[in-house]
Amino acid sequence: MVIKNVCCIGAGYVGGPTCSVIAWKCPDLRVTVVDKSEMRINQWNSDKLPIYEPGLDEVVMECRGRNLFFSLDIDTAIRDADLIFISVNTPTKTYGVGKGRAADLKFVESCSRKIAQVATGPKIVVEKSTVPVRAAESIINILTANTRPGISFQVLSNPEFLSEGTAIEDLLNPDRVLIGGEESEGGAKAIEELSWIYQHWIPAKKILTTNTWSSELSKLASNAFLAQRVSSINAISAVCEATGADVSQVAEAVGHDSRVGPKFLQASVGFGGSCFQKDLLNLVYIAECLNLPEVANYWQQVINMNEYQRSRFAKRIVECLFNSVTDKPLAVFGFAFKKNTGDTRESPAMYVCSHLLEEGAHLNIYDPKVAPDQILQDLTSAAMTSEPERVKRLITICDDPYEAVKEAHAIVILTEWDEFKSYDYNKMLLQMKRPAFVFDGRRILNHSALIDLGYHVETIGKRFTRNALVRNAATRQHWHRLQRQKVARNNIHHIMH
Ligand code: NAD
Ligand code: UGA
């Protein structure tokens, strides 16, 4: 088979960028990305794409209408395709067996059924979504149970390793491409066909081939290892705060060991994103089902540490603001789960904000890329609050960071957007209540400069001794206020008796 037509089911964060790059690098292929969401397809066909990724607009604008198409006509795209990527979402199950842990494969299954139903010729079906080990077995079973004469299917696993915010860069120059297939002549042939597509721009030595199950498990294992590194450095950050060590110095020292390496050692307010937690939960669930409780507990701890990190930071904000944020305006900078994306799925910002809202704080939230509706939707969702109307009243979405700081007691940094580093913090300070605090959950600001300006700075994995001056002044002020209130109360008591 010579592949001419490629179809991708699922026009999301993976399907859209991946197929745009394939179309760009393979002008000899016709690539059609389909989705059941009319809104998403319309956005892919408009000037404002549904997702923000540096470099994506340029690639799409060059290929769209030439050899890249976004369509709602799923049946035709499947029928015409030689190779079909399944790039649909595989979220954590919210119901039934495995609720809250197992991956929900209903969308993958419905794609398989659709392919079986409409295919009129042989197809290579590629599982690009992240799935549990042996998920391809179900796809094969559905396809073979529905096979008609003259139609054959080969199912491959080809997990995606791109990161949001650097998707185009990752797709153009990946560390590796992984393709798993059946250990048979047909399987090897299909692997070769898919490799041929990638070899348009990726050196053959970067294309790894394995059996199907190794490929599926490698994807879960990769995300688990990455998340584990973040949780490991975050665990160390708590020790730093308690001892006076500085987590970036520790990370640098540890990362200099070539066996460890320097990447993914940035302590933070916790990892977010649609996949780390979902894939870890999936791995935990698989281990439990395989009767491997020690393995399950081991990976569960990575999630527990992440939850601890988020809530530790939120509690520290309240504690530093004299144990109460009720009715206090706080400026929140950043809501996306990382910089250079508008994606808020599992963003640590959501959890920190939710804790502060629960305590009654007024949040002025600014993010350069997240749509205001998305922030409101996230913070008022049933998973975050049982009082959506109250929460709504406590939130102001700002389109200017200088607006957000007016009368605020603190600035809380929750995403590492580069622009946050270049703000005029002196100008901001003049608009804020005193003492003015900065809580840097991403360790991106120049802390000593902020302290010199007069801010009280708190960050992850470091204690500032010079803060003590501000802290003492703040505590003194607070103590005097309490004394005045006590005297007033006593006076009232005397008058009444
Ligand atoms: P997404 O939610 O952004 O996109 C999935 C799309 O699939 C949606 O637009 C949805 O409408 C569509 N869809 C679902 N069922 C469909 C059906 N039956 N027919 C047609 N369209 C259908 O998800 P995503 O972030 O692109 O992730 C997709 C998969 O890739 C997941 O398994 C995820 O774990 C994995 N992954 C994601 C990333 C990432 O950075 N987001 C990276 C690597 C792997
Ligand atoms: C991650 C993986 O990096 C990708 O390889 C994978 O394909 C993808 O998940 C997926 O399967 O969805 P992504 O979630 O887009 O990519 O972004 P990352 O750069 O991995 O960051 C994840 C979270 O960890 C972010 O909240 C980030 O701020 C945080 N992080 C990352 C840290 O706190 N410290 C670090 O050192 C690195």
Cβ proximity of 180 and 155 under 8 Å: no
Whole-structure pTM value: 0.93
Cβ of 274 closer than 6 Å to ligand 1, yes or no, is: yes
Query: Between 247-255 and 212-243, two packed helices, what is the crossing angle to 10 degrees?
Result: 140
Dump pLDDT digits (tens) for 155-191.
Answer: 999 999 999 999 999 999 999 999 999 999 999 999 9
Testing ligand 2's pocket by substitution, the residue of 56, 92, 160, 162 carrying the most ligand atoms inside 8 A of its CB is 162
Cβ-proximal residues to 69 (8 Å cutoff; 6+ apart), any chain: 30, 31, 32, 33
Ligand lying closest to the C-alpha of residue 77: 1
The dihedral through the CA atoms of 21, 22, 27, 29 has a sign that is: negative
Dump pLDDT digits (tens) for 386-439.
Answer: 999 999 999 999 999 999 999 999 999 999 999 999 999 999 999 999 999 999
**Per-residue pLDDT at 57 exceeds 50:** yes
Rounded average pLDDT over 116-127 = 95
Per annotation, catalytic residue among 8, 111, 240, 275: 275
495 pLDDT band, cuts 50/70/90, is low
Cβ of 85 closer than 6 Å to ligand 1, yes or no, is: no
Dump pLDDT digits (tens) for 313-331.
Answer: 999 999 999 999 999 999 9
Helix ranges (H only) for 119-246 are 135-145, 167-172, 185-198, 212-243
**Per-residue pLDDT at 382 exceeds 90:** yes
Distance, CA of 220 to CA of 277 (rounded, Å): 11
Distance, CA of 455 to CA of 452 (rounded, Å): 7
* Closest alpha carbon to 139 in 212, 64, 247: 212
**Per-residue pLDDT at 116 exceeds 90:** yes
Testing ligand 2's pocket by substitution, the residue of 52, 170, 223, 229 carrying the most ligand atoms inside 8 A of its CB is 223
What's at 370, amino acid-wise? V
Using alpha carbons only, give the angle 374, 336, 412 rounded to the nearest 5 degrees: 105
Helix/strand/coil for 223:
helix
Predicted local distance difference test score (pLDDT) of residue 341: 95
Mean pLDDT of the residues in the chain: 95
Q: How many alpha carbons fall within 13 Å on the CB side of residue 60?
A: 25
Distance, CA of 456 to CA of 473 (rounded, Å): 10
- Please, is 448 exposed, middle or buried when counting C-beta atoms within 10 Å of its C-beta (0-12, 13-18, 19+)? exposed
Dump pLDDT digits (tens) for 462-488.
Answer: 999 876 445 555 555 655 666 666 666
Residue of minimum CA distance from atom 20 in ligand 2:
163
131 pLDDT band, cuts 50/70/90, is very high
Rounded average pLDDT over 340-365 = 97
Ligand 2-lining residues (CB < 6 angstroms): 130, 160-164, 223, 226, 230, 264-266, 268, 271-273, 275-276, 337-338
The question of whether 275 is a catalytic residue gets the answer yes
